[in-house]
């Protein structure tokens, strides 16, 4: 009985620490996800304020590796909507050098891309969870739908 209380309390504390602002729900259907990463964001005050009010949309966003002067690769979130539709800008992601090198190796492989999954506050710091993914073909999507329907039918029986 005491252990059950601690388990519920730990889940409650975890939910207090991590407040989800925005999720990209289409990603699971459109892509096969491989590795997940977490990154900080370089934002202005207005963007943080709109994130606290949950007026953020990352469903149309994508992540791109850009090289400045062929020396320092940087990773940017492009096309995300932080409440101000007139001023959509690219946002720099904060990662360690080892993580950036790992991402460069993964993205240079054939047909791999970086997709944003969710945007959340973790201890009052805005974080972005993204994944290395590979796009699914149309027949893969149909297969996924068929399997989901079969599982639903089996559960109902």
Structural domains of the chain, ranges and CATH numbers in brackets: 20-156 (2.40.280.10)
pLDDT at 4 (0 to 100): 57
pLDDT at 156 (0 to 100): 86
Residue with token string 């460069």: 104
Calpha distance 128→118 (Å, rounded): 6
C-alpha triplet 79, 83, 87: angle, nearest 5°: 55
Residue ranges in the chain modelled with pLDDT below 50: none
Tell me the HSE value of 5 on the side-chain side, using a 13 A CA sphere.
Answer: 2
pLDDT at 69 (0 to 100): 66
pLDDT at 10 (0 to 100): 56
pLDDT at 3 (0 to 100): 54
User: Cβ distance 138 to 114 under 8 Å?
Assistant: no
pLDDT at 116 (0 to 100): 92
């Amino acid at each position: 009985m005491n252990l059950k209380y601690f388990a519920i309390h730990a889940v409650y504390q975890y939910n207090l620490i991590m407040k989800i602002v925005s999720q990209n729900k289409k990603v699971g259907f459109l892509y096969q996800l491989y590795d997940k990463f977490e990154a900080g964001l370089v934002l202005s005050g207005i963007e943080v304020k709109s994130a606290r009010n949950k007026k953020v949309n990352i469903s149309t966003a994508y992540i791109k590796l850009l090289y400045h002067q062929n020396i320092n690769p940087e990773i940017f979130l492009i096309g995300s909507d932080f409440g101000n539709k007139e001023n959509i800008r690219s946002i720099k992601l904060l990662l360690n050098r080892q993580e950036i090198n790992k991402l460069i190796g993964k993205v240079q492989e054939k047909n791999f891309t970086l997709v944003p999954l969710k945007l959340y506050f973790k201890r009052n710091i805005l974080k972005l969870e993204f994944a290395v993914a590979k796009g699914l073909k149309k027949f893969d999507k149909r297969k996924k739908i068929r399997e989901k329907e079969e599982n639903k039918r089996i559960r109902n029986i």
